[in-house]
């Protein structure tokens, strides 16, 4: 594509037109994807889904590689990643998307349908609509015969909804994605029209205090796990005050807090009856760590509180329910600037940068020095929702945004 002399406007118009020509195909592909119920947990229909995506990319004439992760999941729930690429050269721009979805609560969640301008179904917003937009962004670039100085690399992963260990974690651990050549990463999480350039880390703990249950009249022979929990909680609440004074410099959505988070008692369970000294007390702790805080240090500090109480004889079992590091990147990298320009050209709007309130897989790339951003067609409020949908026009727009961003960032010698 030779567009250097006809300017930005012509480039984006031409690209949008190409994407619009693919509209029916994009919608069909998204519906078919939603129809494969890749519920996680447990990680269902992964092989069917990955084969389906791979077949489509092969139809386009692209190379694909399916990576089977034998170390995770039983035979019926194997994990698979898919790598594919378009273009040649050293520079790599990653288009990263997950194909697992949170479980549906109704069989109709996997029978997608369009009403008005909305495509309904589990994963429409998070993130099969976005995944389809990325696949077809690559297709549009290919159909325009664009000469790229580098590659667009599709990275399709499972297990994002449960921490990403057997998906993105595996790819980085085994060196499938390397720091050296990566010039950036985009992922289509449901960002509600904004760009996420940061995410909080999460450390979720389940705490079990083991006491000794006896009848209340014999209470002197028992060990009251509830009363021990109260003294442990007092120390945690004191620490909470210190933690929650810290504020992030990243922008958050209206109504959200910039403060770091330590929450107690999301789940709480204790005792067997009113007249029995409680022998077990269980509760959860939710620590959400700002990008400016050091995850490892914060984890150590929190765990040290339990050690202190163990030394006094308290019997505490800890289970880590989930952990993931915080991450953040400047809104001023080359990729961020090109992304903002492309969003502006396609939608007429200037997107804001925000911190994602939850964990985000940009962290795997940022830890490896690759600038990474999330920008996707869905609305955050609709992700994981019973009436999850994606707006069709937003999907089509996003396909144009991704493709244009890639063309501009990997512009070949002829300015294409
Ligand atoms: Zn997601």
**Could you tell me the pLDDT band of residue 413, with boundaries at 50, 70 and 90?**
low
Q: How far apart are the CA of 142 and the centre of ligand 1, in A? A: 26
**Distance, CA 357 to ligand 1 centroid (Å)?**
12
pLDDT computed for residue 1 by the predictor: 42
Tokens 């509830």 belong to 226
Residues with CB under 5 A from ligand 1 (ion): 126-127, 189
* Alpha carbon of 189 to ligand 1 centroid (Å): 5
Q: Report how far residue 316's alpha carbon sits from residue 307's, in angstroms, rounded to the nearest whole number.
A: 9
Domains observed in the chain: 7-199+326-409 (3.40.630.10), 201-324 (3.30.70.360)
pLDDT tops 50 at residue 47 = yes
Rounded distance from Cα 120 to ligand 1 centre (Å)? 16
Q: Give pLDDT tens digits for 349-389.
A: 999 999 998 899 999 999 999 999 999 999 998 999 999 99
Q: What is the pLDDT of residues 7-40, one digit of tens each?
A: 678 889 999 999 999 999 999 999 999 999 999 9
121 Cα: distance to centroid of ligand 1 (angstroms): 14
| pLDDT score, position 2 | 43
State the chain's mean pLDDT as an integer.
94
Which pLDDT does position 3 carry in this prediction? 43
* Average pLDDT for 311-324: 95
Q: pLDDT value at position 28?
A: 98
3-state secondary structure of 372: strand
Ligand 1 centroid distance, CA of 359 (Å): 9
* Ligand 1 geometric centre to CA of 358 (Å): 10
Strands 353-356 and 92-98: unpaired
Q: Please give the distance, rounded to the nearest whole angstrom, from the Cα atom of residue 356 to the centre of ligand 1.
A: 11
Round to whole Å and give the CA distance between 70 and 337: 40
- For residue 395, report the distance from its CA to the centre of ligand 1, in Å: 15
b (16+ CB within 10 A) / e for 370-403 = bbbbbbbbbbbebbbbeebbbbbebbbbbbbbbb
pLDDT at 68: 95
Q: Residue 266 in contact with residue 284, Cβ under 8 Å?
A: yes
- Whole-structure pTM value: 0.90
Average pLDDT over residues 267-296: 96
- 236 Cβ partners below 8 Å, 6+ apart? 262, 264, 285, 305
Range list of H helices, 244-385: 295-311, 334-347, 362-366
Go through 307-335 and write b for each residue having 16 or more CB atoms within 10 A of its CB, e for each that does not.
eebeeeebebeeeeeebbbbbbbebebeb
Residue 392 CB partners (closer than 8 Å, separation 6+): 27, 114, 117, 118, 119
Does the structure show a pLDDT above 60 at 415? no
pLDDT band, residue 286 (cuts 50/70/90): very high
| φ, ψ at 6 (rounded to 5°) | -100, 0
Q: What is the pLDDT of residue 72?
A: 76
CA atoms of 342 and 404, how far apart (whole Å)? 6
User: ∠ at Cα 318 (316, 72), nearest 5°?
Assistant: 155
For ligand 1, the distance from its centroid to the CA atom of residue 384, given in whole angstroms, is 9
What is the distance in A from the centroid of ligand 1 to the CA of 127? 5
Q: Please, which pLDDT band fits residue 113 given cuts at 50, 70 and 90?
A: very high
Q: What is the pLDDT of residue 73?
A: 74
Query: In the structure encoding, which two tokens stand for residue 291, read together?
Result: 């990008």
Radius of gyration of the CA atoms of the chain, in A: 24
C-alpha 97 – ligand 1 centre gap (Å) = 8
CA of 415 from ligand 1 middle (Å) equals: 34
Q: Ligand 1 center to residue 98 CA distance, Å? A: 7
């Amino acid at each position: 594509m030779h567009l250097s002399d006809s300017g930005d406007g012509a480039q984006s118009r031409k690209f949008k037109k190409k994407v619009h020509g693919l509209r029916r195909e994009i919608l069909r592909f998204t519906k078919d994807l939603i129809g494969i119920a890749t519920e996680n947990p447990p990680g269902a229909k992964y092989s069917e889904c990955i084969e389906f995506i791979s077949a489509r990319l092969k139809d386009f004439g692209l190379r694909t590689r399916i990576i089977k992760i034998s170390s995770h999941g039983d035979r019926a729930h194997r994990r698979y990643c898919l790598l594919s690429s378009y273009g040649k050269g050293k520079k790599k721009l990653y288009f990263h998307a997950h194909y697992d979805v949170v479980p549906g609560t109704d069989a109709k969640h996997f029978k997608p349908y369009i009403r008005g301008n909305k495509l309904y179904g589990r994963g429409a917003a998070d993130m099969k609509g976005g995944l389809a937009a990325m696949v077809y962004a690559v297709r549009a670039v290919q159909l325009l015969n664009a000469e790229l100085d580098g590659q667009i690399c599709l990275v399709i992963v499972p297990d994002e909804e449960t921490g990403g260990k057997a998906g993105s974690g595996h790819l980085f651990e085994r060196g499938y994605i390397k720091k050296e050549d990566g010039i950036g990463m985009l992922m289509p999480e449901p960002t509600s029209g904004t760009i996420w350039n940061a995410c909080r880390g999460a450390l979720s703990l389940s705490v079990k205090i083991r006491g000794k249950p006896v009848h209340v009249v014999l209470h002197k022979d028992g060990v009251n796990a509830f009363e021990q929990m109260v003294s442990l909680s007092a120390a945690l609440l004191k620490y909470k005050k210190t933690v929650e004074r810290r504020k992030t410099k990243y922008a958050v959505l209206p109504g959200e807090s910039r403060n770091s988070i330590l929450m107690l008692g999301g789940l709480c369970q204790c005792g067997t009856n009113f007249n029995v000294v409680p022998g077990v007390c269980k509760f959860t702790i939710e620590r959400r760590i700002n990008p400016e805080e050091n995850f490892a240090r914060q984890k150590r500090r929190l765990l040290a509180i339990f050690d202190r109480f163990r030394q006094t004889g308290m019997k505490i079992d800890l289970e880590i329910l989930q952990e993931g590091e915080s991450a953040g990147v400047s809104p001023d990298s080359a990729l961020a600037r090109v992304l903002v320009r492309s969003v502006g050209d396609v939608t007429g709007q200037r997107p804001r940068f925000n911190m994602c309130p939850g964990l985000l897989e940009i962290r795997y790339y940022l830890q490896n020095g690759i600038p990474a951003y999330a920008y996707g067609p869905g609305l955050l409020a609709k992700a994981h929702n019973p009436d999850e949908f994606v707006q069709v026009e937003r999907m089509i727009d996003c396909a144009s945004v991704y493709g244009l961003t890639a063309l501009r960032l990997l512009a070949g010698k002829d300015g294409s």
